[in-house]
A and B are shown apart, each in its own frame.
Chain A
């Protein structure tokens, strides 16, 4: 089991810490199941529930494949990426890797993930829709298989709407102007006890992508360059500044606090705002933490423009450093294609991206899961978005920083938009 490390020492032109492809599999031909017992490592980020379900799924897999032992490793989100980068740098990465959209290209483009076309004998992707598979491809290579699908949604607290006598909006017609009016009305009718809404964007890539699309723009172009128009980004911030002025959204300080408090401690869960944004699958923890009647509505303007999009909530990938790619692929196949696994895993990693599994789990969903599935099936969606290019993995903290600068009045929207796009471009250029 001990992996051999290739330590090149201090090279002439480079400090070659163990490089790449030391034990790559070199094409599809020699990917075969071993006759001997094999142990593979699988790693994911996530909390206790996920660890428990995944361990059960692993046990079910091992029962079907007595030859294969799977060692599961769970970590918290931040620690996960530190550990993955370190082990990959030292050529010692786990075989099966849970991957996120932000990091997919950073790893895939640099040759550390296996093209799953090489393992097609063991991992069947035919059940997936082509558009779904595309979200795991870079330059045509299938570096990852989407596990679950998520979609940005407006989350509204129907209890608060009822309490302050505001009518629930019709999400098939509402616009951002309607949204602002409702937000202001909520704040007003509550006498300032709550704010109508939280920030309407600028805290993650999804909200920027949606806003850009509504304005006929895209965050990234087909080849991964930054195509976001500074004026479009500035208009998002101006919209929020306007709402902050009128009280429709909470103050800059409150939104910082809400964000760092996470789902459970955030303003939406604690009933300080009546409308917010989140991924449809976050409805489950939100319901649990708030105890309120929360609903998922389409984003303003989306019903007409179909600017929203399906975002894989996460992926499975195989390390190119894996000595057992066939076994790794077999495990992924089990996790995404087999009803036995779907029965165990449910929607914990998002609504299954494989339509057959989605249908299979739909039968016995809890309230949150049902709301999430209903939403993704009814909301209008445009084409898939381009995968975040290498260098874009730090997007979220970067946009949050600029949003905070704007909302605290340290920069004007226009100036911040130009600076943000410059910084993002230079990160992506540096990584290319």
Chain B
């Protein structure tokens, strides 16, 4: 694990290791219980099922590596990987950039902060509602608001949500639209920065920009890092919005076939849970690798206080 180097630095210091072991055990007891009683069993079962042919309704049959070799020639899987990577690589940076920018803007003495924060956050509350499908069609459909806006500039619109070239773009927009979630975490992180650092900086006569670059940004890096890890994992697992907007199909023409949506179609739509389990474990490897790289890279740019 490349994450290990970073993780080694996680802890406190001093005092005897033994005593900390004991204390840690008690602090972690609920989590240990959850891990061993609830989480690991079903995970192990899904791993075992990934080596079987399992249609949910009849006992699973061992089929070795067949599910994994099948992935090589599965064109829809490759399509879904392409869709998902595009989604992750575009929507995560844009969403986080917007969230960070607005958090900093809002944190700096804007009047009506509470109002703006709530308004920007409102869309995140709607994230998984069935109404999203309708709303998004009203915005990005052929007769939608977006085309009306374009018409003001004399640009001819199109059916953004229903054409294969642009449908994924509307879902990326949908994700960016919910930037309120990471923004709230950034705002909380900004509030967590001890005031004494700013006081020290202003005694030194640092400009606002310098204060931002030498105090705010470094001390916010743990939260930026957290948001990055979280949003990447979330984006890889993105399901609900594509499911609702495309009616579960990943259409038009598989252009919004997210990885988990494909996995779900295989598992439940086609009674192909063995293959779906194998797909899930491939996803775990991919997301795990991304996260590990993230942790490895974090030691070069994330600044911790401890």
Instruction: Say if the two chains contact directly (CB < 8 Å).
Output: yes
Binary A-proximity of B188-199 (CB < 8 A = 1, otherwise 0): 000000000000
Interface residues of A in 253-281 (CB under 8 A from B): 253-254, 256-257, 259-261, 265
B61: chain A residues at CB < 8 Å are 13-14
**A side interface size, CB within 8 A:** 46
Q: In the bound complex, do residue B271 and residue A393 qualify as a contact, i.e. CB atoms below 8 Å apart?
A: yes
Nearest A-chain residue to B267, judged by Cβ: A85
> Measured between alpha carbons, how far is A20 from B252 in the docked complex, in Å?
38
Minimum C-beta distance from B129 to chain A (A) = 13
Known contacts: A78-B248, A256-B162, A257-B137. The answer to whether A404 contacts B58 by CB under 8 A is no
Q: With a CB–CB cut-off of 8 A, which chain B residues contact A17?
A: 45, 49, 54, 59-60
Contact: A394 with B269, CB < 8 Å? yes
Question: Can you offer 6 A-B residue contacts whose CB atoms are under 8 A?
Answer: A10-B48, A19-B58, A82-B268, A111-B58, A256-B159, A405-B253
B57, A110: Cβ atoms closer than 8 Å? yes
Q: Which residue of A15, A404, A431 has the most chain B CB atoms within 10 A of its CB atom?
A: A15
Complex contact B142–A254 (CB within 8 A): yes
Determine the residue in chain B with the shortest Cβ distance to A9: B45
B164 proximal to A (CB < 8 A) = yes
Partner of B162, one of A86, A106, A257, A393: A257
Tell yes or no: B270 within 8 A of A by CB. Answer: yes
Do A253 and B158 have beta carbons less than 8 Å apart?
A: yes
Residue on B nearest A113 in the bound complex, by CB: B57
A interface residues, Cβ below 8 angstroms from B: 8, 10-11, 13-17, 19-20, 78, 81-82, 85-86, 88-89, 106-107, 110-112, 251-254, 256-257, 259-261, 265, 390-391, 393-394, 397, 400-401, 404-405, 408, 410, 427, 430-431
Given contacts A260-B247, A408-B164, contact A265 B58 (CB under 8 A): no
Cβ-defined contact, B253 with A401, below 8 A: yes
Using A13-B62, A393-B270, A397-B265 as known contacts, list a sample of 8 further A-B pairs with CB atoms less than 8 Å apart, ordered by residue number in A.
A20-B57, A85-B271, A88-B56, A89-B273, A110-B58, A111-B58, A112-B57, A397-B248
B49 touches A260 (CB 8 A): no
The verdict on A85 contacting B57 (CB below 8 Å), with A15-B49, A78-B248, A397-B248 known, is: yes
Q: Name B's interface SS.
A: loop
B39-59 vs A, CB cutoff 8 Å, 1 = contact: the mask equals 000000100110010111111
A265 and B137 contacting across the interface, CB-CB below 8 Å: yes
Interface residues in B199-248 by Cβ distance below 8 A to A read: 243, 245-248
Partner of A14, one of B52, B161, B269: B52
Query: B residues bordering A, Cβ < 8 Å?
Result: 45, 48-49, 52, 54-62, 133-134, 137, 141-142, 158-159, 161-164, 243, 245-249, 251-254, 265, 268-273
Question: B269–A397 contact, CB under 8 A?
Answer: yes
- Give the docked Cα–Cα distance between A231 and B124 (Å): 48
Query: Contact partner of A85 among B48, B62, B252, B268, CB < 8 A?
Result: B268
Q: How far is the CA of A205 from the CA of B80 in the complex (A)?
A: 25
- Contact A401 B56, CB 8 Å, known A81-B268, A257-B141, A261-B137: no
